[in-house]
Structure 1
């Protein structure tokens, strides 16, 4: 419990507007600080107020969210904001932060500075419970047990995994570019004082567990309340692999699947930074990840958030693709997009992962042993200077399958009125062109996509009533080098329904 004196000092601090500003990092910023870096200032101010090492505070936030508050939307385990303050049936860090900072819960969810202050307050409360005095608090290594507790892990080994991730970030350094400015941590040598966690199993160590189906994976069992014991493939054929994104951190996801309240699990979880893999449900058993497809599929979760591309590293793609290839070979699953699918493509679900930032082209080429594209660009309908459409094209945010913030729509007519996507093609050659659009029954049954090839315009018709929310190949084409309108969506079609123009991707093969 937080000491009476600490609680009293927090309440006195928020009693005045001036000190409240200090808590939110607006008055504790050094005079040399850049006023255009509000997120960095918030970390500096909150670290000073709660006497938490500033770089450690940043590392905790980066390990949780890559410093992305996701506009107040919760993670899969109920975590909010840059510091991932969790509120779920078993963890109430968000509510604890509200009490410690006297800030409303809704403010802590949506305001970055308040959220960072809340995370710092919770960390300081844990440090007080551990008995860290003013001298110890200056040593980032002494905070190890407080950091391990902050991860809300369900077991000591996962708590160690979480804390080790934070201290690895301190060793490597952090450089994050955010809409609120850059936040950096210089690489530094910190010796973590693991205390009792030194006796916990190191999940980063090579696994010798007989439980794993994939030899490169570690084994951490999910709660038996989160999956169904089965005898696959004898009881049910395994013919699909489902790709997920965790909407949370690696350690946090592992911990969540160990929590009986989660009522969800996947067979594997893959880490962003290095492709480390943990298996949590045996492939013979049915993990709860894809509703009606649980009986026929293997689920692979990937650390990160669908709206932040920084999580999808080459190391993650390669490790996951090797796992997928191994599973496909063992069960005779074809290595194609009909059998290796995103969660969004599973019938009867309401999820959008892995989302528009997941590069299916690169991933599938790693799965099949092919070569990823040497160059690729995405042009959205909102890409400045790269998309043009007449005033006849409306703007909509109706479908959650959209790429980015919105998409364009228009009625079909007997004239072109093309919406064009412009790109700078680096050199003449062969390119794959893909389209992203939301699919609805009222959208066009034969939307004309025009590709400006080196031999003239080629039109490909796409049924936009189905197959939305992912990249759909229009084919491979020979393109000229230069900056020009490469792909267009025309309104001239005999198909019925609204014509949609959302995003295109062009990749050099």
Structure 2
């Protein structure tokens, strides 16, 4: 994920400079929807509903999505994305992350070849239907909307349906527009569009245009049209998914091969044997077909679910009771469920479709409810928030899903929006920039030192003083000076994360971060963070500092005969006297011993030592409960 050509590259990251948000204005794009609807005889509500589920009407300055989709209609032209390797194949991280059974880093997969599926080539088709130049379809929002309208009209004709003015008569065409090859996924997508139509939407886009779709609660679509689409029937049998998404079972193989080796996950008995504490959000480069090929290779690695960008379809690969190899930290793997979101660095840029956000949020809501995972940013985490298990592993940890994953919108879809929870002088803040207006400067998306496309971001940059000319915060664990590269996490926090306040000065707020006082701009008129309440930890009386850990393993005396004790290895950081960090939860030390194919030899070792998980830097970390004092956050003027 360190280079733009790998699957991991889509696991971008983020630094940050603020940019003034665009002023809302009602003009061109709303008119473009009306004009395209009239020209191609598509109901405007259908056109707006489809566009909302694709892009929420954003234009992204003509930059492509993670699957090579352009403009408000997400017209796809992903030809440049074929040369993609595996997300876990960059050679920097052991996805299993277990000292007792180091996993050889997966070999890079060969570049994908062959013909792209039709769902990834809708822009060329729109060019043929409209006669418009492909480049114009990519960069001109009005032309892009016309291209989407032409595709919907063509789908309606192919179904033998007339160009009805009633949006209820377009269900089959909307289902076909999704690009799904099975009826369940196409129906889930179409249902999502009609939910938008019935409920209505209004928002200011990333270009500053106010777009409105009036609610039409009376619309009842003709779902019988789905039978005439000719799509295959996919079974959801065996999956662990909510009824509100389309899901199929494509298992990752649990197989023995070579000289006693096996892959690509471990059998378990969660949650009976171990609680599930985390859901890890990943982003993986490569077409859907290539991603499925990777996870079905027993010599590769695994994750629990894959999500498709264009329509939100879900494939489950590893059951929740079993342990997938995805996070690079064995403690986190043993306590988590991993979700890989399809995408590749097409131009590059990295925005995600609303269809995938919504499908992912429904799945996470279901899993969190079933397994008791708190819906907060210390438990719903990105791969970039997973700590290195040991000091040597810190520099190689992955950085996906990157700066362009919209955590604020995602948690709104989860039903847990990040809201103000205390008065202005609170001792804790929740990071919450305006995603669209928060436009950081990044480098290294396409080449070393090259500027990345300007884009909204979930990230906030940290300085050593209340001055944007001050040095950036340095991460001692990385051993390199902080930079503005997309994969440099040294000096960035992310939306939804909570930190203890260390000071305030005019429009600036300081937080405790990686053992330092870190400053970020937080103007009252356009705040970057909001006041919050929470519990914090600080070294107990008599201690000047305490160690910080990347895993919560038991004490040596807890291991039974036949299970080698695992080192409780500190990271290259210290929690210093006078500093405070927000507590995410308290757990007992635990280790899952699983180093052989036969699950009869697997053991869950539980110790007496307690650990507190904390938001220590960009990544979460752990401290021993015996080393710290827990207290409620106090006001900080």
* TM-score when normalising by structure 2: 0.47
- 1:53 CA drift (Å): 0.9
Between the aligned partners of 1:210 and 1:70, the Cα distance in structure 2 is: 38
3-state SS in 2 of match to 1:176:
strand
Q: CA 1:78–1:46 in 2, change beyond 3 Å: closer, same or farther?
A: same
Residue by residue, what CA displacement relative to the aligned partner does 1:25-64 show, whole Å, maximum 9, x if unpaired?
xxxxxxxxx9941110110111111111111100000011
Residue by residue, what CA displacement relative to the aligned partner does 1:328-351 show, whole Å, maximum 9, x if unpaired?
77xxxx999787631223554353
Q: CA 1:62–1:96 in 2, change beyond 3 Å: closer, same or farther?
A: same
- 1:220 CA drift (Å): 1.6
Q: 1:233 aligns with which of 257, 260, 268?
A: 268
Contact 1:244 1:342 survives alignment (8 Å)? yes
Q: 2:47 aligns with which of 44, 57, 66?
A: 57
Q: 1:280 aligns with which of 279, 293, 316?
A: 316
- Does residue 358 (structure 1) correspond to residue 407 (structure 2)? The answer is yes
Tell me the residue number matched to 2:304: 267
Contact 2:241 2:363 survives alignment (8 Å)? no
- Does residue 191 (structure 1) correspond to residue 220 (structure 2)? The answer is yes
Between the aligned partners of 2:353 and 2:474, the Cα distance in structure 1 is: 20
Contact 1:231 1:284 survives alignment (8 Å)? no
Tell me the residue number matched to 1:243: 280
Q: CA 1:199–1:314 in 2, change beyond 3 Å: closer, same or farther?
A: closer
- Does residue 95 (structure 1) correspond to residue 130 (structure 2)? The answer is no
Contact 1:209 1:218 survives alignment (8 Å)? no
- 1:308 CA drift (Å): 8.8
Structure 1 residues without counterparts, runs of 5 or longer:
1-33, 201-207, 248-252, 387-394, 421-435, 446-463
- 1:142 CA drift (Å): 1.7
Higher RCO structure, 1 or 2 (CA under 8 Å, sep 6+): 2
Residue by residue, what CA displacement relative to the aligned partner does 1:328-382 show, whole Å, maximum 9, x if unpaired?
77xxxx999787631223554353447575269x89x999xx9983576758799
Between the aligned partners of 2:314 and 2:325, the Cα distance in structure 1 is: 16
- Does residue 137 (structure 1) correspond to residue 177 (structure 2)? The answer is no
Between the aligned partners of 2:361 and 2:246, the Cα distance in structure 1 is: 20
Contact 2:76 2:122 survives alignment (8 Å)? yes
- 1:288 CA drift (Å): 8.4
Tell me the residue number matched to 2:238: 211
- 1:419 CA drift (Å): 2.1
Contact 1:56 1:170 survives alignment (8 Å)? yes
Q: CA 1:169–1:266 in 2, change beyond 3 Å: closer, same or farther?
A: farther
Residue by residue, what CA displacement relative to the aligned partner does 1:443-493 show, whole Å, maximum 9, x if unpaired?
479xxxxxxxxxxxxxxxxxx9747453665525798xxx94452599xxx
Aligned length: 394
Tell me the residue number matched to 2:338: 299
Q: CA 1:341–1:311 in 2, change beyond 3 Å: closer, same or farther?
A: same
Contact 1:73 1:80 survives alignment (8 Å)? yes
Contact 2:239 2:249 survives alignment (8 Å)? no
- 1:214 CA drift (Å): 6.9
- 1:139 CA drift (Å): 2.2
- 1:267 CA drift (Å): 3.2
Q: CA 1:303–1:186 in 2, change beyond 3 Å: closer, same or farther?
A: farther
- Does residue 148 (structure 1) correspond to residue 179 (structure 2)? The answer is no
RMSD, aligned α-carbons: 5.9
Between the aligned partners of 1:337 and 1:508, the Cα distance in structure 2 is: 14
* TM-score when normalising by structure 1: 0.57
Between the aligned partners of 1:216 and 1:61, the Cα distance in structure 2 is: 24
Tell me the residue number matched to 2:398: 349
5 Å-filtered alignment, 1:68-83, equals 68-83=58-73
Between the aligned partners of 2:245 and 2:303, the Cα distance in structure 1 is: 14
5 Å-filtered alignment, 1:401-412, equals 404=457
3-state SS in 1 of match to 2:204:
strand
